[in-house]
Structure 1
């Protein structure tokens, strides 16, 4: 028996002090959490262009990876679209590993030590999330009445990222206090800043202003660890999946700066994104107006930055604004918690709706980052998907040439968002929507293939659809990105085309 990894032991010790009643549940969840993270890691090792893997051999129901130094890593055949934790063990030169952090440590490839620490955090935090969910379970009988309740049902985080629950810098007490899956009420710190020191776009509401000052809602973790502020007025809010975005009691959502690395990124709010927020919001409305009512885009109400990405906030509409009586607006990542049967016919309807909207916008020159957190689906009372809602426009990609062909003017956007590179535009949509939202909902390659085959029958035969049907499917190389800290921006893998994928 090897000693428990540092992150697992650290959380256990903290729980003994702050929540002793959770220790047994946490310990019991650790093996399943290791398997969940190991499955995500094995997907990356099996399918991403990692420079130290020189050959991959599939056969006999398994997969062998040959490393540049001659070692061999063996495990089960890897379905890139599977979401169940089916990898419980892999073998490196005959030594068995069930712990992803220990495996990454012993692989000893460039930057593996830092990534191993993140994997350890991911396992420990995931076990804590599962232990702390109480008796609500993943499939409650009744649908929530409020949007934030859907968000808090998502326990396991990103379905494919090995750092699905990595929260370094958060103690066990802070995870219980701020993690949406634990169902807390978070008290945002209200920080007044002289108006002359602030960049404000849109309409910043009067209740967040005082004499000559703009009041910025700040996440309590940010206030304590980055701004070093204590005291002051507070505002209660419900944390959403993004953790730094919260639902205020009267409906609007507030995105706060959070200078901690969660999953892959430090969640600050750049000055550029604040400056562009009103223009982006108007652009989103103009684009949505061309979808015949199939898509709504949440409006940005106002944004503020007080001279730094560390002290900034964005207010935007709740997706609930786009629900009719009896309907529910559900983040795609939370669909598994609805209790819907998700039959092949249901998945085909949902995939058809999502691809109709995504491909129509792509043809116009707008590539959505339509992953399970940004993309929401409007469900009728009997569970049928009828419309989509999209939120957070900060990661769009926009093609000027395509916009021009459709009579849409190019707004003044940050340069990183603008490209006529067809490959970049398709990567953005297909990597988030098909390899992300739809794959995560389907849960396996064969199920995804069946849903897509039915969904595409009536879609217009465009060059973009041809690329989806016949080329490898782009997906962010999540493991490669974490092992390449000096490489800026997204890196990509090419997954087996889902229209030709076979079962595990």
Structure 2
């Protein structure tokens, strides 16, 4: 059967034209990148509610999936919290696959062809990201000590080379050429020039304080990512701000200034990265809620303020200005995105991991008790570390996708006025899955790196926390997490889908 060129072949050909010096390193990194994506895919196949999987059963040290059409998938026993590339081969009946794109193509299940292309792009982009690093991904960087750590937010975020720890599309950037990935990807360390699109003030929605330097008489100047300007808006932009891209790609740190979140209408992992008009309208109210929340957490939580937001009444042309989290670190302290903790030696200490889990759960559960379920994954959540690496406080950024309980807020005298309807719910299950799925199934699990390490950290941390009903649910029920592959292979418009993982507090 004729196969079209793989994503890896296409990337290698583009790379040969724009950065021929990286081709050999890209080729060397490709097997490891495929194993990383294959491991994430195997996690999804083993635990998500995929309609074409009939049953799953252990077979010695392995796992067998029986498909509804009679075929079988065979691979190693799956640890849903493990983050290393531990799956080298998956067998579909008697044929072995080390390439996730080929496996998904040959599975030929509903909506698999598009997802197969995403997997191939994810693996190829991951190999490109690793090839351009000054250090090998993982290994050497993990040996760094606090006195060798970066002193800037952009350098911390640059360390997160592999993207989402559990999403098979961890590095998929469809619509980005190789040249654009090199020019805009934070792991490549570029400086990105944001354009400025003028919008008549009467035709713009502005909340908060929009700075003087982003105004031109009666016009509001909206920062625009160059990819967005070229591919979506297709308009020339006046020269604007220089920024360093952060993990989300569309948010950039302006030296000496704020973080600028831009609209980027591309699907990265699961979501299209635009900025809705409703989110701009609600940004000031959400920022005020964040300040109120932080004031009630005994100094253990800071929430970055939204300084201003503007939109031309279009999700494709909007921007948000936020405080840099670095401002919440004191002398000698380090403010570290949780996703970057795995690049340090800290998670190798069970005592440190337990202390971090205790802090993160104490803050997350306190916020939930007050009525705010944070989406506290490794990108949104940062930790303030002492000069020796001890976890002291947390910093949270981007309140756009939290969930709030009006009833819980009211019990604590917190006003919910101005908060958008889509984030309001009093359903405990919805609130808990938002927090537990992101914090425990995301930030803590990825930092621990395995189910065994996560379990031990939680066992040490949980007994010291207040015994709320939310904590009881965390201890006694399966852990809800987003079904990331189901979301990518289901019909459009289904929104978030969820699955349940084995409770990480039960090591046996």
**TM-score class normalised by the smaller sequence:** over 0.9
Structure 2 length normalisation: TM-score? 0.97
User: What secondary structure is seen at the aligned counterpart in 2 of 1:394?
Assistant: coil
Within the alignment, does 1:409 sit opposite 2:415 as a pair? Answer: yes
Residue aligning to 1:385:
391
Q: Which residue of 2 aligns with 1:336?
A: 342
Distance 1:60 1:2 in 2: 37
Instruction: Note closer, same or farther for the CA distance 1:277–1:289 as it changes in structure 2 (3 Å cut).
Output: same
Q: Conserved in 2, the CA contact under 8 Å of 1:5 and 1:120?
A: no
Residues 415-434 of structure 1: CA deviation (Å, up to 9, x unaligned): 11000111000000000000
Q: Deviations over 1:76-113 (max 9, x none)?
A: 00000000100010111111011111111111111101
In the TM superposition, residue 240 of structure 1 has moved relative to its aligned partner by: 0.2
Once the two structures are superposed, the pairs formed by residues 20-419 of structure 1 within 5 Å of their partners are 20-135=20-135, 138=138, 139=141, 140=144, 142-230=148-236, 232-340=238-346, 342-419=348-425
User: Unpaired runs of 5+ in structure 2?
Assistant: none
Task: Give how far 1:229 is off.
Answer: 2.4
Contact 1:57/1:64, CA 8 A, preserved across alignment: yes
Q: Mean alpha-carbon deviation: is it higher for 170-179 or for 337-346? A: 337-346
Tell me the CA shift for residue 183 of structure 1.
Answer: 0.4
- How many angstroms apart in 2 are the aligned matches of 1:434 and 1:231? 42
Between 334-343 and 365-374, report the one with greater CA deviation: 334-343
Q: Is the 8 A contact 1:200 1:302 kept in 2?
A: yes
Contact 2:193 2:239 in 1 (8 A): no
SS in 2 for 1:314: strand
1:35 & 1:485 partners in 2: Cα distance? 27
Alignment partners' CA distance in 2, 1:136 and 1:61: 30
C-alpha separation between the residues in 1 aligned to 2:439 and 2:386? 22
TM-score by length of 1: 0.97
Pairing 1:424–2:430 present: yes
For residues 175-200 of structure 1, the C-alpha deviation after alignment (integer angstroms, 9 at most, x for no partner) is 00000000000011111111111000
For 1:441, the equivalent position in structure 2 comes to 447
CA distance in 2, matches of 1:447, 1:101: 31
1:6-21 alignment runs, 5 A limit:
6-21=6-21
In structure 2, C-alpha distance between the alignment counterparts of 1:330 and 1:341, rounded to whole Å: 13
RMSD: 1.4
Instruction: Give, in angstroms, the shift of residue 137 of structure 1.
Output: 5.8
**Aligned counterparts of 2:238 and 2:226: Cα–Cα separation in 1:** 11
Distance 2:38 2:158 in 1: 24
Q: CA deviation at 1:149?
A: 1.1
- Structure 1's unaligned 5+ residue stretches are none
Structure 2 counterpart of 1:485, from 491, 501, 506: 491
**1:50–1:480 Cα contact (<8 Å) kept:** yes
Distance 1:480 1:486 in 2: 11
Q: In structure 2, do the counterparts of structure 1 residues 5 and 327 end up closer, same or farther at CA, with 3 Å as the change threshold? A: farther
Q: Is the 8 A contact 1:368 1:397 kept in 2?
A: yes
Verify the 8 A CA contact 1:283 1:411 in the aligned structure 2: no
Give distance in 2, aligned partners of 1:353 and 1:114.
41
CA distance in 2, matches of 1:231, 1:209: 14
Aligned residue pair count:
502
Deviations, residues 308-363 of structure 1 (Å, cap 9, x unaligned): 11110000000011110111100000012234353000000000000000011111
1-side partners of 2:3 and 2:383: how far apart? 44
Kept after mapping to 2: 8 A contact 1:38/1:99:
yes
Q: Distance in 2 between matches of 1:455 and 1:49?
A: 31
Tell whether the 8 Å contact from 1:285 to 1:297 is kept in structure 2 after alignment: yes
